Amino acid sequence: MIKLYDFSLSPRARKVRITLAAKGLAYEKVPIDITKGEQKTPEYLAINPYGKVPALQDDGTTVYESTIIMEYLNEAYPTPPLLPDDKGQRARARVLMHYADNPYERAVATLAAELLLKPMQGGATDHKVVSQATTALNLCFDHLTNELGDNDFLVDSTLTLADIPYVSWALLFPRLNVDIPHPRLEAWINRLKEQPSVQAAG
């Protein structure tokens, strides 16, 4: 049985849940409450020395870092495939995943920290940081609009690993008052939200 060490509100953990759902895989969910520091306990650090969620265990194999877990699941359970057959398109998908994990995630995570976490902890929002992150996110939107073109998904004609990280973080947009400035990009995000695997992942 696959075991997922998970925090339900984490977009990084949600990426893995979406992948598991897209593969139709059953798994045991082990909650790790990062608000209580459970990711830093000696027991959990023995599983993931980075002290972050998610982590995954599968038949004696332990994997951490969300994108690496997604790739592992796609290789270990190849049906349905979540990367294209063509090696060039697979490389492009991985470039897009890297982009999601860096400028895109950084911008959305910064907004979440300033607009959600700080107020919850009694801190004051830094509006200059919010403005900078919003500008950075809009640049990401410009780039992704070009990458998407007239297609329904970023790579291939259906959901792939390239799409998953973007929708995982985009589920925070309503709470962050993020407006997507490009209609085609907004339609893509809405299309991803409607995917059964995304809805099943919560």
Q: What is the CATH number of the domain that holds 44?
A: 3.40.30.10
Q: Looking at the 3D structure of the chain, how many domains does it have?
A: 2
Report the phi/psi class of residue 103: left, alpha or beta, with left for phi > 0 and alpha for psi in -120 to 50. alpha
Indicate whether 159 pLDDT > 90: yes
Output the average pLDDT for the chain: 96
**pLDDT value for 117:** 86
What mean pLDDT do residues 94-115 have? 97
Last residue of a domain, one of 76, 98, 129: 76
Tell me: the pLDDT tens digits for 160-198? 999 999 999 999 999 999 999 999 999 999 999 999 999
**pLDDT value for 74:** 98
Exposed / middle / buried, residue 171 (Cβ in 10 Å: 0-12, 13-18, 19+) = middle
Residues 64, 141, single domain; the answer is: no
Nearest Cα to Cα of residue 23 among 85, 61, 62, 69 = 69
Residues 66, 152, single domain; the answer is: no
pTM for the model: 0.96
What mean pLDDT do residues 102-124 have? 92
| Residue 117 in tokens | 């976490």
**pLDDT value for 199:** 97
What is the chain's percent helix, strand, coil content, to nearest 5?
60, 10, 35
What mean pLDDT do residues 63-76 have? 98
Indicate whether 121 pLDDT > 90: no
**pLDDT value for 99:** 98
153 domain-assigned: yes
81 domain-assigned: no
